């Protein structure tokens, strides 16, 4: 027996407004409590030298930075140095198919010689022979 002959069935509906309100509150909470850190930048004091600016070679150079604490960064991406073979793989990936890109070493004035030699050795293992160093002018 159907006693509701004349009445239509109401479809149940889900009210999304309270759920959206809760999600917005959670989103605001996450945005406020997140701490943003910039790990890619190294604090580097370049050694000073007097000289002319070099002529840039064709192709995109690979910037390798090392600070006084021996933290390495390739094209502003922090990279750990385990051994020259692993670091040469990182340099090959940064070369993006270039045969012999220019490796620009940005070494802190207080960085150890070994850290610079590590970069040069990794470049040699990768087969890259064009290496240059950055300095800052003495006038600055």
Q: Does residue 79 lie in a domain region? A: yes
Q: Does residue 129 lie in a domain region? A: yes
Q: What is the mean pLDDT of residues 106-132?
A: 89
Statement: residue 16 has pLDDT above 80: yes
Task: Kindly write down the DSSP assignment for every residue of 42-78, as one continuous string.
Answer: ----PPB---PPPPPPSS--EEEEE-TT--EEETTEE
Q: Does residue 60 lie in a domain region? A: yes
Please report, rounded to a whole number, the percentage of residues in the chain having pLDDT higher than 70: 76
Statement: residue 42 has pLDDT above 60: yes
The pLDDT value recorded for residue 31 is 87
Q: Does residue 95 lie in a domain region? A: yes
Range of the structural domain that residue 59 is part of: 38-140
pLDDT tens column, 72-116: 999 888 988 889 889 889 998 998 888 888 999 998 888 888 899
Q: Does residue 88 lie in a domain region? A: yes
Q: Does residue 68 lie in a domain region? A: yes
| Total domains, the chain | 1
Distance in angstroms (rounded) separating the CA atoms of residues 105 and 42? 13
Q: Does residue 82 lie in a domain region? A: yes
When pLDDT is cut at 50, 70 and 90, the band that residue 37 belongs to is low
Distance in angstroms (rounded) separating the CA atoms of residues 71 and 22? 42
The mean of the pLDDT values for the chain is 81
The pLDDT value recorded for residue 26 is 95
The pLDDT value recorded for residue 13 is 82
Token readout for 14 is: 């889900």
pLDDT tens column, 18-30: 999 999 999 999 9
Q: Does residue 81 lie in a domain region? A: yes
């Amino acid at each position: 027996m159907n006693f509701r002959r004349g009445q239509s069935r109401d479809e149940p509906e889900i009210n999304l407004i309270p759920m959206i309100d809760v999600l917005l509150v959670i989103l605001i909470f996450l945005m406020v409590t997140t701490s943003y850190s910039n790990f890619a930048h190294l604090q580097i004091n370049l050694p000073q030298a007097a000289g002319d600016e070099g002529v840039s070679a064709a192709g995109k150079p690979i910037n390798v930075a090392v600070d006084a604490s021996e933290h390495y960064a390739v094209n502003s991406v922090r990279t750990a140095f385990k051994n020259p073979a692993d670091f040469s793989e990182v340099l090959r990936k940064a070369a993006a198919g270039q045969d012999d890109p220019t490796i620009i070493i940005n070494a802190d004035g207080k960085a150890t010689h070994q850290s610079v030699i590590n970069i040069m050795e990794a470049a040699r293992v990768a087969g890259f022979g064009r290496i240059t160093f950055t300095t800052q002018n003495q006038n600055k």
